[in-house]
Amino acid sequence: MEFKSRQYETVNCAEIHGTHVEYRTVCGDFPVRAGDGALLGTMFSYSYIRTDVEDNTRRPAVFAFNGGPGSSSMWMHAGLLAPRTVKTEHPLTPPTTPPYELAQNDDCILDVCDLVLIDPMGTGYSLILDRERQNEVYSVEKDAEIFADFIEDWKLRENRMNSPVYLLAESYGTLRACVIPSMLLGGPMTAVNETRGLSVNGIILMGNAVTFQSGGSVFFESNVEKMILNIPTMAACSWYHTEGEKPPLKSYMDEVYAFAGGDLMRALYWGYRLDAGEREAILDRLADFTGLDKRLLRRNNLRIDTGTFIRERLTDSGLDLGLYDGRFTMPQSMQIGSMPNPTADDPAMGFYTPSYRGAFELIARELGIDADQPYTPINFKVNGSWSYASSLSPAEHLQAALRRSPELRVMFCCGYYDLVTTCGQARYLVNHLDCAGSRITVKEYESGHMPYIGESRAQLASDLRTMITGREA
């Protein structure tokens, strides 16, 4: 198939964090090739590059991507990083029908770093040119290899080989971000089968998915009861929906974490052999923390999965909670089938996805993009075709990167109300990484799977600035 690479460029300026910033944008295709060199399709990227600096050869560059697998970067683009982002009067009641609007993003970090957002093949404005072979690139390490190819190409093309590199990832993208450093360094046992000798300065993981299990995958194995890792998030969501006087969230969560790793762990280990009085005391505390009926907790032997929690916590009010963000609610219904769409019908994703798509279309227009094709936020065909087989687990790739690069820093950014990738999972992973504690930080925000939804975006942006500049914002 004949292919002509697309490229769109603009120049613009913005007031960012009290600073006048002039920048150019470069958006376009990057070729995606099979192992034999055949062109299978393209990735599509969006670069925001500051131009009013004397020398940008040492200026940090942040490469950002979402997850899925099969998701575009629309979420971070329209919600966090672009100089203008989605406008909402209140973050928990976004507009669900047109028209949509953009607002000035006071939390944009373009003043301290350049920004590069990436849509993998099959998402966004990317192209699939060989549908018979497209699945050849839908795997953990091949995907990371392609991203590493892109990063190296971008640094060469922009004369930025000496620029610090930061990876900013969300959801499945956190797995990708763990593997990319191995592909950038290269070696005989990697998919690239050559040594590139490139490294990264920092990895920022939002909505940590590295602890997920998927069939026969080699993800990080958490040898602990899921209830222990998930109850802190259930407790946070219950706290949010509790009316009246309640303790400060931070101290409340400290208490929940201590309970989860102490009394609850002991109770789950001993099961029905636990002393009856002690078991009742545990049930009382579980009921207090989750807001669930004690009888339900007893029937389930102290264990409640997140699916049950979102249905039961506000069932007396006729509401379901959002998995992606437990602050969002939607009326319960028995008239949409027994298996509603886990994305479109999620009380969080179902509400905010239309406004993000609408806002992104406005951003694309400002970037001068006139691609003659619809934008694909998430491609579930890509998701369903994904191979999770890998020579090392993403956690092992991350551990290897930390081992060989003493200056590499990692920051986990978790939302208290994220019932998909819970805060407890991130804490557990960090506790089991063999690395000096000062190089890994865990930040928790009053938000959900996308920690930039709501007032927490300002604190997240501040933490990103500190991570990138080494200075308190």
CATH code for the domain of 392? 3.40.50.1820
The reported pLDDT for the residue numbered 75 is 96
> Are 175 and 33 members of one domain?
yes
Flag whether 337 is in a domain: yes
Q: Which of the listed residues 320, 342, 364 is the one where a domain comes to its end?
A: 342
Residue 365 identity (one-letter amino acid): R
Q: Which residues contact 188 (CB under 8 A, 6 or more apart)?
A: none
Token pair 């949010």 in the structure block, residue: 240
What per-residue string of b and e applies to 198-235 under the rule 16 or more CB within 10 Å gives b? bebbbbbbbbbbbbbeeeebbbbebebbbbbbbbbbbb
> Are 59 and 141 members of one domain?
yes
Domain that holds residue 297: 226-342
Kindly give the parts of the chain with pLDDT less than 70.
1-2, 188-192, 213-222, 335-342, 436, 473
Distance CA 367, CA 385 (A): 31
The reported pLDDT for the residue numbered 18 is 86
Flag whether 203 is in a domain: yes
> Are 310 and 378 members of one domain?
no
Distance CA 181, CA 176 (A): 9
Flag whether 313 is in a domain: yes
Flag whether 255 is in a domain: yes
The reported pLDDT for the residue numbered 339 is 53
What per-residue string of b and e applies to 121-151 under the rule 16 or more CB within 10 Å gives b? bbbbbbbbbeeeebebbbbbbbbbbbbbbbb
Q: Burial level of 274, CB count in 10 A (0-12/13-18/19+)?
A: middle
Flag whether 380 is in a domain: yes
Distance CA 166, CA 409 (A): 10
Strand partners, 29: 44
> Are 93 and 31 members of one domain?
yes
Q: Which of the listed residues 342, 365, 385 is the one where a domain comes to its end?
A: 342
> Are 139 and 243 members of one domain?
no
> Are 267 and 134 members of one domain?
no
Flag whether 1 is in a domain: no
> Are 73 and 142 members of one domain?
yes
Q: Which of the listed residues 299, 314, 342 is the one where a domain comes to its end?
A: 342
Cα diameter, the chain: 74
Token pair 């609408």 in the structure block, residue: 358
The reported pLDDT for the residue numbered 341 is 67
The reported pLDDT for the residue numbered 2 is 64
> Are 29 and 87 members of one domain?
yes
Instruction: Report the chain's C-alpha Rg in angstroms.
Output: 22
Token pair 């009380």 in the structure block, residue: 347
Verify cis geometry, omega within 30 degrees of 0, for the bond prior to 83. Answer: no
> Are 319 and 355 members of one domain?
no
Cα 437 to Cα 221, 392, 463, distances in angstroms: 21, 23, 17
Flag whether 2 is in a domain: no
Query: What is the number of structural domains in the chain?
Result: 2
Number of other CB atoms surrounding residue 16 within 10 Å: 20
> Are 302 and 268 members of one domain?
yes
Flag whether 142 is in a domain: yes
Provide the whole-model pTM.
0.94
> Are 75 and 168 members of one domain?
yes
